[in-house]
Structure 1
Amino acid sequence: MPFLSLTSWSLHRNLGPLHWTRWDKKTRTQITDTQEEPELISLLELPAVLAKKGFKSLEVCHFHFPDTSEAYLQGLKHSFMEAGLRFYTLLIEYGDISSSDEFRRQSDIVWIKGWIDIAARSGAERVRVIAGYADPTDQEALKRSVNAFRELSHYAAAKGVRVVTENFHSLTSIADNCLALLEGCGEFLGLTSDYGNFKGPEKYGELTKTIPRSESIHAKAQTNADGYPDEAEFIRCMEIAKQAGYEGPITLVFDGSGDMWEGIERVRKLAAPYLK
């Protein structure tokens, strides 16, 4: 059975003043919530809090690391171990390994390797690397991404970290490209499927293709202006995962308005019947 997980993005307003705002996806501008300032929690405290709430793992966005010193990373690793919580994935939120600009691509690969080092030192099992921002029809970009993933996967494997990618941003906005990356890299590359990232009428068919090949699911609920999820839409996605026999983490993603803990609990109730 799948198990309960969370991404740090679901608490980004609680992780510090820099994260109190959220982004309007259409205008790419920041929206400041009118709610009272949320109760803050540090990343070091979060594993223990989540373990008490019944979560089994956490995925952490790279920009939620307030410090990358050796002392901090060892402290974070210890906090996961003490809580008995898995640091399932470090989510690297930047980088275009599909770029036709050789300098940009190579610079981003070097930068990503630095975060793979951080993942290894802080005890993360995986790193999520974006496949690229190229047009999904650009086959040369897909090849560049495959080659970069081969390099990054071998680099990470030597440090005990696994590389995964996700249906995130334009190159992997279609399921066939997600699967092509897996085929091109073999067992060295894994996949995360996000409920919210495939768009349009083909969304559910796309998820049906990728979820059987996924080792993580980002269970992102579509929410209204008040932060309440579209229950029927979310359950339809969960049913696809169930039919696929998926058994990995169901990582709850809440990015709506209002209190984030309350939003997480609303999504959790919908996911609960599908969890062990």
Structure 2
Amino acid sequence: MAYDTLVGELTDLAKLAGHEIMKIYATDFTVDYKDDESPLTQADRVSNRLILDYLRDNYPDVPVVSEEGPHIPYPERQSWPRYFSVDPLDGTKEFVKRNGEFTVNIALVARNFPAFGVIYAPAMEMLYWGGKDFGSFKQFREFAPQRIHTHKAAEGEGLRVLISRSHPCPELEVFLEDLPVEQRIVAGSAWKFCLLAEGKADIYPRMTPTREWDTAAGQAIVEGAGGSMTTLDGQPLVYNRQTLVNPGFIARG
């Protein structure tokens, strides 16, 4: 799987899915709700179908785990050496609120860690991609891509902290009491990882539940930009575990 080919194909795929999402965004769309009361729209379904069809046609030997795809039991996937992790519309709540903070997330997970990720924010026309072994980049519309880097705060320096727009929690407030917080940046979806990766924030702590497809692409991009992401106790965040629900994590510049 050649890296240059992967970049070209997955970034184009994310943008194509984003284009279809924006068509629906411009309409008076309806909202359904899943069993867990999270919203679901036609944009989620259309984007999911487009991405999964493309990946299955062009990467038939690489399995796919998607938020809107079928449930795959752990015994079936536990021996996978690699797979795609997909969130066809991350931040559906933000999509419904029409605040523009929603993304398309596509990641390649290899040996239980995100190797490469793409995040596209279609309402902002911003594209991000990268991985730990490749560096990370951003591109606005069709302008030239730019290499991006995280900002490593010096000891005692005030921190710009990313806060989830739709998932605040008391535990986070307790955690922040011990940090020199200079600014709180409230944002939705995997867009938060993009802000961290390009140095516009310093830390993103998360205590409320996320799933692998919420974080895989973002983790790859943050690490490619020089940052890190661990569990709350400093251990590596491992993927393709028995549960696809992540533990709490801290992403740092």
Give the TM-score range, shorter chain. Answer: under 0.3
Query: What TM-score results when the alignment is normalised by the length of structure 2?
Result: 0.27
User: Which one has a bigger Cα radius of gyration?
Assistant: 1
Q: Higher helix fraction: Structure 1 or Structure 2?
A: 1
Q: Higher strand fraction: Structure 1 or Structure 2?
A: 2
Query: What TM-score results when the alignment is normalised by the length of structure 1?
Result: 0.25
